[in-house]
Amino acid sequence: MTEPTVNYASSSLGDDALEAAFEEALRAIRAERPAPQPLVIGGEELHTGDVIVREDPCHAGVVIGAAHVATTEDVTRAVAAAKTAAGPWRRTPYAERVAMLRAAREDIAQEIAYLSAVVSAETGKTRLEAVGEATEVLDMIAHYCDLMIENDGYCAPLKPSGGDTNFDVMVPYGAFAVISPFNFPVALSIGMMVAALVTGNTVVLKPSDKTPRSTAEIAAILRRHLPAGVLNVLNGGAGVGQALAKSDVDGIAFTGSAHVGWELVATRSPSGLPRPVLAEMGGQNPAIVAASADLEAAAQGIVRSAFGLSGQKCSACRRVVVDRRVADDLIDALVRETEKLVVGDPLDRDSNLGPVIDDSIAARIDEAIATAQQDGRVVTGGRIDRPGNFFAPIIVTDLPLGHRLTREELFAPFLAVTAVDDFDAALAEANAVDYGLSAGVFTGEQAEIDRFLDEIQAGVIYVNRAAGATTGAWPGVQSFCGWKLSGSTGKGGLGLWYLPGFMKEQSRTFAGQQ
């Protein structure tokens, strides 16, 4: 099977063989009783300890993933194994590290249908979203490996002085904890792992307890090509993540909620010395729609970004801020686009959305709907009367300015529309949150585009993009950086400046000519 060309702006797989392979794999996954994923410490697979299970969010009681849970002692041993492997791995020439990761990429490319089906089974993603994620894995590995080669391993000559020869070199920190989320269990885990590994760090990976199988499957492919101890895997929930953060790892890479991310930033290492925490966190992302906008394009881009993966993306469009003069027309267009979407089982080719991941998110949505009915108006959407946590996408209007449903991240297929008087008010409202991940604008006025680019407080921005108002970043095509509470470093993945975050700078001067 050839590599798919699907990305997050695609509207179909466009490949009948891939469609059929995905369906066959998903049916098989649902029919089997999976063995628990092991812990992996120093190259040894350990089938011990308590077991967590993951049920298919489309079919309660159907277990599609399981994993052994790490203890505090396991955390200590895994970090020690990563530190032991760190020296030899750091000294491995970067071209050899790149070759190992590219070889793993080739193996992954042969497993796209299966990996996509595992992701779909654990998360409820549609086939288009799941294959898009698996395809992103391929481009993520290629992009980071290419960056390492293009930058000569991040070693650059400086000006000679007094007969001395000088170099600026980036060197790895050592052992990195990688704590990955449920919503992109293969793409985001690979992104953080490969960035750490290609730059010469070893890794202790903790998958989300909601998606233990997806992340374990992708990690197992990587491990085939790496020396023992370079990649270790610890399963479990928040307690395992906290123990890992409190260990003496040399750095932490994390994607998830702002609450957890900033706790990780504040967690001191046992030595008390500073260490990097590369955290990409949530968003309360706005799309501004000006009076001059193409409303049909705006509605398409907003709906695509608001409701893909049932709104469970950190970059999802959460809020629309629209000029009052066109608000009613835009709302009508949004409802038309939204009500075209089919919510159902990913096995159904017609499904555009699956269920939300679990009962806790579903309960928050139920509460938000009740609040919206009390304080505003629910225009469309709500819980679907069928087993499981299925929701028709929800659009809410008429909430008071500053209402908490427009300020707090819900992580759900829930869109709030706020009407304002002019573009000044739209920018002010768009920026009036503590998050700053992504944002979009729809306008026909260049002056408004210029103001948006200059004044919006977000790291990922899109202009007049019907393919996705606030979503769709792709490795090497867009960068993905959170500002404000959405990111801890001011730099993000997918782009040009992520890899240096996994390294520290060293100046080297050699007396005389070298």
Q: Which of 289, 311, 307 is nearest to 298 (CA)?
A: 289
Residue 355 DSSP label: -
Task: Count the neighbouring beta carbons within 10 Å of the beta carbon of residue 328.
Answer: 12
* Chain CA centroid to CA 504, Å: 24
Query: Which strand (E) or helix (H) includes residue 177?
Result: strand 175-179
Task: Count the neighbouring beta carbons within 10 Å of the beta carbon of residue 429.
Answer: 20
For 178, the 3-state DSSP assignment is: strand
For 507, the 3-state DSSP assignment is: strand
Distance of alpha carbon 150 from alpha carbon 155, whole angstroms? 11
Task: Enumerate the active-site residues.
Answer: 280, 314
Residue 186 DSSP label: T
Distance of alpha carbon 287 from alpha carbon 469, whole angstroms? 6
**Pairing relation of β-strands 285-289 and 277-280?**
unpaired
- Residue at 295: amino acid letter: L
Q: Please name the residue ranges forming H helices in 278-422.
A: 295-307, 327-338, 359-375
The helix, strand and coil proportions of the chain, stated in percent and rounded to the nearest 5, come to 40, 20, 40
